[in-house]
Structure 1
Amino acid sequence: MFRLFLTLTIFLNFSLFSFSNEDYSKDYNLLGNKLKIIIKTTNLDKKVFKRIKKTLKNIELIIDPYNSSSFLYRFNALEKNTEISAPDLFVDTFNLMRNYNKITQNSFNPTAFSILTNNSSDLKKIKFYLDTGLYDKCLNISNITTKIRNVFSKKLSCTKISFDSAIHGIIVENIKYILERENLESFYISFGNTIYYKNFESNMPSYNPRIQEILDINQISLKKFSSYSYLDIADKKVRTFNINSASRKLVVKDDIVIIVSSDSPVNNSILSNTLNLLDFDTIKKLKFINSEIPILIIYKENDFYIRRYSKSFQQYFN
């Protein structure tokens, strides 16, 4: 009897061990940010992380503007009227940038990178360039032309672009695709300002401390989102989405919260960044604020906080 009991106990313990979910966590340093991936599953094929590493390397080799081996770096260094064939990721991302340039009526412009290449944290120098108009001819997305679908050229060699407004969403979207293709049902992905998780109870902080502080000041409590991005105001580094190309003004705001929560990490990332450039007084007139995309904007005006949100965001207020 004792032997039978012992056998049953060992079998039950083994069964519980075999079918209990484990957390497989991996951190990556990527494009100046930390990428965190947590997978909860009973048995993980470790090759998944090898596939992820390969995908990340391929993405870096296409859209890292500071890597001299990347396609984007070579494109930015291209002489005028020189044609170059672009990989699909570059083509798709550029088309996305061009669409948002139209949506924001040229307020957002990825060619703002033309004056950020060597001065991304020097506010005075960037402001000087904008005020004097030295780079006005360079800051024009129309300077980039396409032939067929993937053949690009530039009218001016000084025109340079960055995909910094969407890069976090692009990374998260690609990792999400890999994990879902592996039929993994519970995971968490966080990179920069973009988070996505599926069937996962996360204890990670939802936002950076400054955003949480603004939410607390306004006594706003939000439910958790499974897919969202926020405007990251944690540092003072200037990016393309801090320059209003239409008005040629530098836009670096401290007292602002923008949260976007749709099913698409890429759209969340670029919307949460580019909304920063719009006139909040007229934002209600914009079509997407009344769309199905959940959007929250909190900004300060005359020492008072004002909030704007789409109808679909109401469900996230506690």
Structure 2
Amino acid sequence: MNRFFNIIIIFFLTINFSFSNVLNKKDYNLLGDSLTVIINSENEEKDIFKQIKRKLRYIEAILDPETNSFLKKFNDLEKNSEISAPDLFVDAFKIMKDYNDITKNAFDPTTFSILSNASTIDKVKPLLDSKLFQKCMNIRNIDVKITNVFSKKYSCIKLSFDSVIDGIIVQNMKFLLESKNYTSFYIRFGNTVYSRNFINENNNFDKRTLDAIDRVGIKIKTLPVFSFLVNDNDKIKTYNLNYRSKRISLNNDFFVIVASDSPVNNSILANTLNLVDYSIFAKNLYRNEIPILIVYKDDGKYIYKYSKPFEIFFD
């Protein structure tokens, strides 16, 4: 008889546990990409998903690359306090100010704006001798860009929008969910992921990144917060730039994973470190305070380097 009651109790406990948490998942189309939000809670969360949709409308209005009135929409948005973009953009530029230390003069991230639309090396070489290159490569101009971040005074300012969009959207979703006291959720947009108290089976890197990780024989735990360079994107060209000689080479066998606590910082680093002069950067990477892993191909062999904070993510 006792055994029967024990079975009944276990049965009801199992039923109760099964229905105590619901994985509420929603996918959104945003800026030509997919945003995934999963909330682990006791109820169906229809209201919060409506709030997310409203916020995404604001974000899409301001970050739409086709708009001709970016500044006006941005100012309107800032007045509504619907998006935390202004402070996040400035934070991203503060990170960029430290790039000379981060990369040991191996790369100035504003170069990305010069190379971003160039499909061949032949189209890039003339840009390296242009006045635009000199203006963008001067790290001291970053201070000026902080104050002019919304004026588009410099054409190389394009980096501020292109390289942190993924991180900004994820960060804003994080802010929204935390403000509503959600404690278990998963957010992914583009190359950037943020999760909190959420068990995920894998990191969902692209195929080429997974292959590169396999080739160097390492295993990575599931990362709660990270960005990576999306190498399966045919639009992405990876140019390694020698900062001193201004020589460049095309090298699509370069992979970056950044796993700090900040989605914005992860996004901008993952989207720009692919242009690093890895012969310089790799030598000093272990001492870096940011969790970074790079995998690159040199003389036909895949090599991986990482910073000390990234060690905890190896399985």
TM-score range, shorter chain: 0.7 to 0.9
Task: Give me the whole-angstrom Cα distance separating, in 2, the residues matched to 1:28 and 1:135.
Answer: 37
Q: CA deviation at 1:317?
A: 1.6
More deviation, 84-93/48-57: 84-93
Task: Give me the whole-angstrom Cα distance separating, in 1, the residues matched to 2:252 and 2:230.
Answer: 10
Task: Give me the whole-angstrom Cα distance separating, in 2, the residues matched to 1:155 and 1:235.
Answer: 30
1:78 maps to what in 2? none
Task: Give me the whole-angstrom Cα distance separating, in 2, the residues matched to 1:16 and 1:270.
Answer: 43
CA contact (8 A) 1:189 1:196 kept: yes
Task: Give me the whole-angstrom Cα distance separating, in 1, the residues matched to 2:314 and 2:14.
Answer: 44
Aligned to 2:158, the other structure's residue is in SS state coil
1:38 maps to what in 2? 38
Q: How does 1:16-165 map to 2 (within 5 A)?
A: 16=16, 19-71=19-71, 87=78, 89-90=85-86, 92-94=88-90, 96-97=92-93, 99-104=95-100, 105=105, 107-110=107-110, 112-113=112-113, 120=117, 122-123=119-120, 126-127=123-124, 129-130=126-127, 133=130, 135-136=132-133, 139=136, 142=141, 145=144, 153=151, 160-162=157-159, 163-165=161-163
1:302 maps to what in 2? 299
Task: Give me the whole-angstrom Cα distance separating, in 2, the residues matched to 1:294 and 1:182.
Answer: 29
1:317 aligns with 2:314: yes
CA contact (8 A) 2:33 2:190 kept: yes
Structure 2: stretches of 5+ with no match in the other structure:
79-83
CA contact (8 A) 1:140 1:159 kept: no
Q: In the alignment, which of 187, 204, 207 is matched to residue 206 of structure 1?
A: 204
**1:273–1:18 distance in 2 versus 1, CA, 3 Å:** closer
Aligned to 2:296, the other structure's residue is in SS state strand
Query: Which digits, 9 at most, give the CA deviation of each residue in 1:4-59, with x for residues without a partner?
Result: x9xx99xx599828952111111111122211111111114422112212222222
Task: Give me the whole-angstrom Cα distance separating, in 1, the residues matched to 2:59 and 2:134.
Answer: 29
Q: CA deviation at 1:121?
A: 6.4
**1:227–1:306 distance in 2 versus 1, CA, 3 Å:** same
Query: Which digits, 9 at most, give the CA deviation of each residue in 1:205-236, with x for residues without a partner?
Result: 52011100111112211111111111111123
**1:215–1:281 distance in 2 versus 1, CA, 3 Å:** same
Task: Give me the whole-angstrom Cα distance separating, in 1, the residues matched to 2:288 and 2:153.
Answer: 37
Instruction: Output the amino acid matched with 1:196.
Output: Y
CA contact (8 A) 1:35 1:189 kept: yes
Q: CA deviation at 1:132?
A: 5.7
Aligned to 2:167, the other structure's residue is in SS state helix
Task: Give me the whole-angstrom Cα distance separating, in 1, the residues matched to 2:202 and 2:42.
Answer: 22
CA contact (8 A) 2:229 2:257 kept: yes
Instruction: Output the amino acid matched with 2:176.
Output: I
1:79 maps to what in 2? none
CA contact (8 A) 2:191 2:267 kept: yes
Structure ranking higher in helix proportion? 2
**1:85–1:19 distance in 2 versus 1, CA, 3 Å:** closer
Task: Give me the whole-angstrom Cα distance separating, in 2, the residues matched to 1:180 and 1:263.
Answer: 15
**Percent of residue pairs bearing the same amino acid type:** 35
Task: Give me the whole-angstrom Cα distance separating, in 2, the residues matched to 1:316 and 1:96.
Answer: 24
Aligned to 1:232, the other structure's residue is in SS state coil
Aligned to 2:232, the other structure's residue is in SS state coil
Task: Give me the whole-angstrom Cα distance separating, in 2, the residues matched to 1:297 and 1:115.
Answer: 20
Structure 1: stretches of 5+ with no match in the other structure:
76-83
**1:152–1:186 distance in 2 versus 1, CA, 3 Å:** closer
Query: Which digits, 9 at most, give the CA deviation of each residue in 1:151-207, with x for residues without a partner?
Result: 965666x55524222211111111111111211122111111111112222235520
Instruction: Output the amino acid matched with 1:290.
Output: R
Q: How does 1:221-300 map to 2 (within 5 A)?
A: 221-238=219-236, 253-283=251-281, 286=284, 289-300=286-297
Task: Give me the whole-angstrom Cα distance separating, in 2, the residues matched to 1:68 and 1:243.
Answer: 32
Query: Which digits, 9 at most, give the CA deviation of each residue in 1:236-290, with x for residues without a partner?
Result: 3248x8685956666653212211111111111112222222222222565x742
Q: CA deviation at 1:93?
A: 0.6
Instruction: Output the amino acid matched with 2:310.
Output: F
2:183 maps to what in 1? 185
Instruction: Output the amino acid matched with 1:52.
Output: I
Q: State the Cα RMSD in Å.
A: 3.9
